A and B are shown apart, each in its own frame.
Chain A
Amino acid sequence: MTTETTRIHNIGYRDYDGPRLGRAYARRSLYSQSLRGAYGLGRSAKSKVLPMILFAVMCVPAAIIVAVAITTKLNDLPLDYTRYAIVTQAVIGLFLAAQAPQSVSRDLRFKTVPLYFSRPIERVDYVVAKYAAMASALFVLTAAPVVVLYVGSLLAKMDFADQTKGFAQGLISVALLSLLFAGLGLVMAALTPRRGFGVAAVIAVMTISYGAVSTLQAIAWSQDSSGAVSWLGLFSPITLVDGVQTAFLGATSSFPGGDGPGAGQGVVYLLVVLALIAGTYAALMRRYRKVGL
């Protein structure tokens, strides 16, 4: 009868004999932790502010467009699904600049990387998880407004087949953009343990390359060499995406004169994008080869 009331609490060490879920589970855990981290979830309130603001900034214009389209009973959206990410590229660049260093520079700076590698995961798991998490975070950021546009277009009773096709093209385009940007951002961030340098490097590469390419394109256009316009687009990330979607995803190009690459040139664009994605992945693998313990 005393066993009910006088219980001995054993606070000594307890062995763990539950399941150990191994490498694949650890990789998934790292992925979800990094993805949540990109939006500040599971981190301090302060680190939620910027990503959440940027997410709102991405979605609000889409909501406004939808509201206008519904009230004025438009037959088509005033902005293409594929065009949205091009217009909001500054916001995407800012998100990448803030969150890519957050994801990888911190582990390098505070030397947490050895703790990961002293566990079941291997280098490839770390790189894949971080890459996938960054790409997913960008995809959430860029696909959300596209979804808003699509839902709005259906509410406005626009042509279903048309809108669905545009929506699908838009999703493919932002998926490609997310992969490309994530790779570029992570490579730049992983080169330096200093977060500030990472942020600056990402912003610089994104804006300088775009600024230079669009300036040269404008000059080429005014010189009537429209052939050069579409080749120049190969040299900045956002114009690469623009070129691919113009060639294959029915988008209208934002290049001067609206002349994007044709199907033949488009193949070159696509190859360059894929090579960049593969190249950034290889660069990350290489970067972490020496960061063992």
Chain B
Amino acid sequence: MARATNVDDVTVIATESLSKRFPKVTALDRLSVDIGPGVTGLVGANGAGKSTMIKILLGLSPATEGRAEVLGLDVAANGSEIRERVGYMPEHDCLPPDVSATEFVVHMARMSGLPPTAARERTADTLRHVGLYEERYRPMGGYSTGMKQRVKLAQALVHDPELVFLDEPTNGLDPVGRDEMLALIRRVYTDFGISVLVTSHLLGELERTCDHVVIIDGGKLLRSSSTSDFTQTMGTLAVEVTDTDAHPDGTAALRERLAEAGVSVHAREEDGLPGAGHILLVEATGEETYDVVRDTVAGLGLGLVRMEQRRHHIAEVFRTDSAEATDVAGAPDASSAGITDPPSGPAAADQAAEASAR
């Protein structure tokens, strides 16, 4: 009932110049952000301060400076109450292998304060909702990674929290498992009505799941905006082709031909990734770009190894940033840097400048 009337319907999480300093590193640096209901992605490279932020929001680690509120409760004073109304799915493995999922989740439900009968009922319900059926009676040691992730999610949801923190829930999953998990996370909000804060270092996978994305780097807020801002200019295709006798360097030939056809090909190639130098990054202006690429490849008689939507890695935010700053000639590049639009507000601009200076 408190849920319907409270002001925390507007803001689920609010931080105000939140800082966390360890003797040698600054994990969070004056982070101020307001997060409303819905699915929010917290994106940052490893060590950007994502886990530290969750720890502080759960009231388990005191902030060095600043304050934070979760569901309208102060994290420093009301940690226990917050944790009763919040769920947490850790990044690492946390399941004892010799216990069944049912026993484990029932125990965790009781640890959240649910009476025994309710704990059993909620466990059965929750495991069904995350897609775990007969195997829930078997010891968890024999589960696949996907099943384990589902149990981890179930234990975070079993007490029907108002908000869940999911730390890298897609880690270790194959593409299909990843998509299923992302769909499940979406349902946690749309069907279950539970707000979600999900962390990832992959911006690409969050843009489809989240309503809002917060990007942090080095403990600083880089950007906080709704996902629709991101998706407009996110159309980059990765194309890889084979070489033939007629075209010993298929990639170069394709690049030339595509440029003739009026498709903008990024000068920058992927580096540091497998297949570097053989993958062309093509600007997709719409559906027709796919056809142009297909026809061009066919016209050259090359084999098309792959043509896929590029998953934007968080590192790119910074890489394209510095590319913009140093390489002014790469005009077509700028459009790929949609995620680094001029940030709003003078403070954010400062931070962006700092990021590109790196």
Q: List A residues at the B interface (Cβ < 8 Å).
A: 11-16, 18-23, 25-26, 29-30, 33, 42-44, 47, 106, 110-112, 114-122, 292-293
Q: Among A13, A14, A29, A110, point to the contact of B110 (Cβ < 8 A).
A: A29
Cβ contact within 8 Å between A13 and B96: no
B303 on the A face (CB < 8 A): no
Q: B99 — which chain A residues lie within 8 A by C-beta?
A: 43
A107 to chain B, nearest CB (A): 8
Determine whether B257 belongs to the interface, using a CB cutoff of 8 Å to chain A.
no
Which of B86-94, B229-237, B281-289 contacts its partner? Answer: B86-94
Q: Give the contact stretch, choosing among B114-122, B206-214, B291-299, B336-344.
A: B114-122
* Cβ contacts under 8 Å, B80 to chain A: 23, 120-122
Q: Which residues of B in the span 100-144 have a Cβ within 8 Å of any Cβ on A? A: 103, 107-108, 110-115, 118, 122, 125, 128-129, 139
Chain B residue with the shortest CB-CB distance to A113? B94
The 8 Å CB contact of A42, one of B54, B90, B95, B103, is B103
Question: CA separation between A44 and B196, bound complex, in Å?
Answer: 35
- Are B191 and A21 in contact, with the CB atoms below 8 A? no
Chain B residue, CB-CB nearest to A123: B60
Q: Are A110 and B60 in contact (CB under 8 A)?
A: no
Q: How far is the CB of B11 from chain A (nearest CB, A)?
A: 21
**Bound complex: CA A15 to CA B191 (Å):** 11
Given contacts A42-B103, A44-B98, contact A18 B114 (CB under 8 A): yes
- Contact of A20 (CB < 8 Å), options: B87, B114, B129: B114
* Cβ contact within 8 Å between B111 and A121: yes
Q: Which of B98, B110, B191 contacts A26 (CB 8 A)?
A: B110
Interface string of B65-94 (1 = CB under 8 A from A): 000000000000001110110111010111
21 A–B contacts from the bound complex (CB under 8 Å): A16-B159, A18-B118, A20-B84, A21-B115, A22-B84, A26-B110, A29-B111, A47-B98, A110-B97, A111-B90, A112-B95, A115-B155, A119-B108, A119-B113, A120-B80, A120-B81, A120-B84, A292-B55, A293-B54, A293-B60, A293-B90
Chain B residues bordering chain A, tally (CB within 8 A): 44
Known: A20-B114, A21-B113, A116-B111. A43 touches B94 (CB 8 A): no
Query: How far apart sit A14 and B114, CA to CA, in the bound complex (Å)?
Result: 15
B83 contacts A120, CB within 8 Å? yes
CB distance from A128 to the nearest CB of B (A): 14
* Chain A neighbourhood of B351, CB < 8 A: none
From A13, A106, A121, give the contact of B192 (CB < 8 A): A13
B53-66 vs A, CB cutoff 8 Å, 1 = contact: the mask equals 01100101100000
- Determine the chain B residues whose CB is within 8 A of the CB of A16 once the complex forms: 114, 118, 122, 159-160
Q: Which of A13, A43, A115, A122 contacts B98 (CB 8 A)?
A: A43
Cross-chain contact of B55 among A19, A122, A293 (Cβ < 8 A): A293
Check if A115 sits within 8 Å of B108, measured CB to CB. Answer: yes
A23–B79 Cα distance when bound, in Å, is 12
Within the assembled complex, what's the spacing in Å between the Cα atoms of A293 and B118? 27
From residue A249, how far is it (CB to closest CB) to chain B in Å?
39
Q: Residue of A at shortest CB range from B192?
A: A13
A43-B99, A292-B55 known; 12 new pairs, CB 8 Å cut-off, are: A21-B115, A26-B110, A26-B112, A42-B103, A44-B98, A110-B97, A118-B58, A119-B84, A120-B112, A121-B80, A121-B111, A293-B58
Q: Does the CB pair A21–B114 fall under 8 Å? A: yes
Q: Mark B141-167, 1 if CB is under 8 A from A, else 0.
A: 000000000000001000110000000
In contact, B90 and A115 (Cβ under 8 angstroms): yes
List the B side residues contacting A117 at CB < 8 Å. Answer: 60
Provide the bound-state CA to CA distance between A47 and B93, in Å.
Answer: 23
Minimum Cβ distance to chain A for residue B274 (Å): 31
B113 touches A26 (CB 8 A): yes
A114 touches B94 (CB 8 A): yes
Residue from B86, B88, B98, B112 having most chain A Cβ neighbours under 10 A: B112
Asked if A25 contacts B113 (CB within 8 A), the reply is yes
A246 to B211, CA, bound (A): 71
- What's the nearest-Cβ distance from chain A to residue B104, in Å? 9
Chain B residue at minimal CB-CB distance from A109? B96
Instruction: Tell whether B330 is near chain A: CB-to-CB under 8 Å.
Output: no
